[in-house]
Structures are given as structure tokens and as C-alpha cells.
Chains A and B, each alone.
With several copies, the nearest count.
Chain A
Amino acid sequence: MGTEVEQGTTIDAERLAAIRADFPILAAEPAGVPLVYLDSGATSQQPRQVLDAEWAFRTGRNAAVHRGAHTLAGLATDDYEAARERIARFVGARPERLSWAMNATDALNEVGLSLAEANRAPAVDPRLRIGPGDEILITEAEHHANLLPWQRLADETGATLRWIAVDDDGVWTEADALAAITGRTRLIAIAHVSNVTGLVAPVEAIVAAARAHGALVVLDACQSVPHRPVDLDALGVDAAAFSGHKMLGPGGIGVLYLRAELGDALPPARVGGSMITTVTMTERDFLPAPQRFEAGTQPVSAIVGLAAAVDYLEGVGMAAIDAHELALGRRLAEGVTAIDGVRLVGPRPGAERAGVASVIVDGVHAHDVGQVLDAQGIAVRVGHHCAQPLHRRLGVAATTRASAYLYTTEGEVDRFLDVLAGVRDYFGAR
């Protein structure tokens, strides 16, 4: 890594400046004013180290992996498998438990499609069996990516989709979860950290309850893996998904984590080359995981880029990043709560929340709020953030969300709060 940032428990001003200098886009002025990028929850920006790693791969080692026998193919395969090991180490997973997808949505669909296929087979592996009378449990706050695949799985298998309801703030508790997990629960799919409310799910308690009832746990780790230390093997979840583009990596790479028992039992949703042993015109046999889930040419350059992103994140230190973002989350929550006519969604100030704050501005539509912020160079996301049911429950069609990352400064948060405080006046909403 070019920049010398040492692992620590916090990110001080000097280190923050060094980090920011690694991200070319943070110096851009797309709206004619300095960019204040508070939309990392949607997609993060990339440091030059990631771009450099991909460039080096593409201009010096690019070839088809696990197919070619020539030297270049060997180099590419080495990079490919080294990247898998690197990313696996980052999330506390044995390498063979990770396979690749287009994005996290794709990875979650892969699990849902595979489970549906497994349950159409005449003899279903009992660990995978889901049917009428069984329940699939999610929460009312899920991202559509962690909702639609389970709706469909329930529809296809005849199981019932149940959900943990949220309160007026969009919050649910460990007690709510434990009350909902019963002997009928066959699969639990939850976001580790909510992309709207910043709520952190009690994964350990949920996994323990699931184990006790023989249910599978699927973790949507899209908003946790990029921002805090996560050890998937230790958490004991059965499957997990996250996206490279939310963690300093390139687009086009999602990661699917599958415990060994699941990896070898699930029929692959995507079939084709490089994942088979023997193929005849009518029959096919599949390789074991992870290759089983890697049909066709994989996004190797993006995987190499993601490994570089992971190097970068660990160079800074995930504990330090977590502390930095929790502090920003606090600042956001407190700052927003102090503004008249602005309602904070999610955990109250003081309660744990990731570095994200979604707000409702009385009398002003989120789109208009976002426009006023954008005019000052502040990029936030407005809309339902792919969580329509949650927004319906909150009684609005859209919220305005500011989300932070390791490169976000307190000054940027303050700038956001400052402009936000003036929005209602601008629209005469008093």
C-alpha cells in the first residue's frame, strides 16, 4: 500500500487527511463546489491503490483462470486464488467458503434459488427442507435484496414468510427476534446493519436461537463487513452476502459465504463452464464449493481489486474505522435531533448506530431536501433506499440519508447538519 497508515484504534486528523488524499474523487467538484460525499451506504469511493492493483493485473497478468495451462493463465489463477484467501481472511472465513456473485443481491438470490431448487427435488436434504407449515423469518426493515428472494422462496415452497415488526422509529430488539424464532422457523434472513436506520442486529443471539431450533441463518452483511470487524466463521451463520462496491472495491463483485455443509448440499443456481466435473448431453456433475458456484468466467480483475481494498481497510484497521464511524453516527444523530422539524429514523441518540442517519423533514419532500443539499455539494441519498415496507411503516415515501465511511470528516457531517437546518426555511415549511 502506498500510504503509510498504521493500524490503530482511531483515525486522527493527520491520518484522515492521508486517507482522503488516496481517493481522487474526493477532490472532484461535480456540482461546482467541493464534494461532500455522504452516500457511501449506496456505494463507496475507491482509493488509487485499488485502481493500481487492477491496472497491474489487467496489463500484466490477465488471462482465463482455472482453464488455461499457459504461464499467463497460471499468474492470473495465482492472483485469483490469493485474492480469495485475502478476502476470506478479512471476514474470518475459510477460503473455500467464499464464492463470487455479481453483487450482494445476486448472492442472496443464489441462496434463495438454490433452496427452491433443492426443495423441488424428490429427495430433499433434510437440512434444506422448507415447506408448508414452515416459516421463513425476516424483519420489516430489510433491504429489498434481502426481502424479495425470501418472498419468492416462501411462495414457491408453500412456507410462510414472517417478519419481526419495527416500532415507530424503525427499530426492533433482540427480544422481538427471540420471540419470533420458534420450532417452525426454518430460515432466518436479516441485515447485520440496517442501511436505513443504522441498527445493529444481535446476530449472536439470533444464531444461538436458530441453532436451538435447527434453522438456517442468512446474514445480509452489506453494511457490516465494510465498516466493522466481522468474523463470519465465528458468528456461525450459514450463509452471508456482501458487495465489493460498498467497501472501497470495484462494482461487479459480490461475495457469497456458505458454510461447508450448505456449500456442498446446495444445487448451484447458475450452471455452465468451470463448475463441473463430467458433462454429457443429458447429465452434469458439479465440483464441490466454491467452484460449484462459479459458473463461467469470473470478474477476476474486480476480485483482485477487492483484495486490494481489503488490504487498504486493514491497513487503516477495522477497529479504528468502526470507532471513527460510530463517532460520526453519534454526531449525526445528535445533530439531527437538535434541528427543529427534523425527525431522526432509527436508534435514538445514545443507542448504538452505525455511521448513518436517515431523516424526515416536516413539510418538505426528501427529493427537495436532497436538492438543496446537492446545491451545496453535499451528496446524500433520498428515496426509500430499497426498503419500501420500512418507509411505509414510518409513514413516508422517502427519507433523506447521510452515510459516512472512513474518509468522512466531522466537518462534512457539520456541513450537512448546517444546510439541513435551513431546508424548512427555504421551502417556507413552518
Chain B
Amino acid sequence: MSDPLAGLYQELILEHAKRREGEGLIEPYDAERFLKNPTCGDEIRLRVRLEDGRIAALGWEGQGCSISQASASVLAEEAPGLAVADARVRIEALRELLRSRGAAEPDEQLLGDAVAFAGVARFPMRVKCAMLAWVALEEALLEAEAR
């Protein structure tokens, strides 16, 4: 039996779900966001520190499905060092990819390891899981800049 879920649960995702890169609440930090998906109970608390318009550090704590945890882990691996504007572009690119229902071509250059989540696009109900950490960062960046 071929695995109908292979597109969803890529090796990289399962591996990140265990590794949990960047887990832990950093100090000091410029903004913190707590987000929750009420349908399934997934939660994330994410902190970000900025320096010179770049993401200097990012840490998170959370619980949830493998998709949501892996996506936080991938984000934590990729975000540090990014300019805030670039981070926004990536977040938006991931959102578009995931909402495409499989119609969009992933931009590997731009997304890096996050392309592993391309398969989520064909599972609309998991899009929120994959976006949770990224939306938390998006909101944290707004908050950090507003201060």
C-alpha cells in the first residue's frame, strides 16, 4: 500500500517535530505572542528579539500536532539573521503556498526547508497547524516594531 500521507509527513517534518529546534523562551525579548488553535488545542508561545532591523533570536514553547511543532522548529532554525522585511516576505510566501490547495509551485530559494510543508496545501484542515508559529512571528514583529 503506497502511503497517501507521504506528501504531508515528509521526513524533514517528522524529524523536526522531534528535534524541536529553538524550543525555550529566550531572554531578553522584544515581543511575545501566544496563539491557540481552538479546534485542536494547538498552542504556541513565541518570543523574538530584534537587532538593527534583523531577527537576532527566536524561541518558542508549545504543544500540538507534528505539523505545528515541526513548523515552529523549522521557523526557529531559519529566522535568526533574517531582516524583518525578508521574514515577512517568507511568511506571506508560505501562507500563499499553503492556501493554494496544491495549485502553487513552491519557491525553494525563498522558503528554504519550509518547502517541506508544501504537501500541507492538499490538506486544508492542517494549514492552520503549519502556519501557527509563523503567524505568531508575524504578529510579534508588528508588536516589536510598534514599541
Contact = CB atoms under 8 A, between A and B. Distances in A.
B123 interface: yes
A272 to B, nearest CB: 13
A383 B128 CA distance: 14
B4 interface: yes
Nearest to A391: B41
Nearest to B66: A368
B36 interface: yes
A9 B97 CA distance: 42
A330 B59 CA distance: 45
Given A277-B36, A365-B65, A371 B126 contact: yes
Interface stretch (A69-77, A172-180, A209-217, A320-328): A69-77
A427 B66 contact: yes
Interface string A262-283: 0000000000000011100000
Nearest to A372: B5
Interface in B15-31: 17-18
B41 A428 contact: no
A214 B113 CA distance: 53
Contacts of B126: 69, 367, 371
A78 interface: yes
B40 A398 contact: yes
B39 A67 contact: yes
Contact of A397 (B42, B66, B125): B42
Given A365-B64, A367-B129, A427-B66, A287 B123 contact: no
Interface in A180-232: none
Nearest to B4: A375
Contacts of A368: 9, 65-67
A66 interface: yes
A159 interface: no
A384 interface: yes
B14 interface: yes
Given A367-B64, A368-B65, A427 B40 contact: no
Nearest to B6: A375
Contacts of B65: 365-368
Interface string A369-385: 00110010000001110
Interface in A26-54: 31-32
B72 interface: no
Interface string A68-112: 010001100110000000000000000000000000000000000
Contacts of B63: 365, 397
Contact of A428 (B14, B124, B129): B14
Contact of B43 (A73, A276, A371, A397): A397
> By CB atoms of chain A within 10 A, which of B17, B18, B41, B129 has the most?
B41
A66 B129 CA distance: 14
A391 B125 CA distance: 22
Interface in B108-147: 123-126, 129
A383 B40 contact: yes
A371 B40 contact: no
Contacts of A427: 9, 14, 17, 66
B8 interface: yes
Given A375-B5, A427-B66, A382 B40 contact: yes
Nearest to A384: B41
Interface in A382-430: 382-384, 388, 391, 397-398, 426-428
A277 B40 CA distance: 10
Contacts of A67: 39
A398 B41 contact: yes
A278 B14 CA distance: 28
Nearest to A33: B4
A214 B45 CA distance: 40
Given A69-B125, A73-B125, A372-B5, A287 B38 contact: yes
A397 B40 contact: yes
A277 B38 contact: yes
Given A78-B124, A397-B63, A427-B66, A371 B41 contact: no
Given A365-B65, A365-B66, A74 B125 contact: yes
A237 B132 CA distance: 35
Nearest to A31: B4
Contacts of B67: 367-368
Given A367-B65, A371-B8, A383 B123 contact: no
A380 to B, nearest CB: 13
A388 B40 CA distance: 11
14 contacts: A32-B4, A74-B125, A278-B36, A365-B63, A366-B40, A367-B64, A371-B8, A375-B5, A382-B40, A383-B40, A383-B41, A397-B41, A427-B9, A427-B14
Given A77-B125, A365-B66, A388-B41, 6 more contacts: A66-B39, A277-B38, A391-B41, A427-B9, A428-B14, A428-B18
Which 4 A-B pairs have CB atoms at the shortest separation, nearest pair first? A397-B41, A367-B65, A365-B65, A375-B4
Interface of A: 31-32, 66-67, 69, 73-74, 77-78, 276-278, 287, 364-368, 371-372, 375, 382-384, 388, 391, 397-398, 426-428
Interface of B: 3-5, 8-9, 14, 17-18, 36, 38-43, 63-67, 69, 123-126, 129
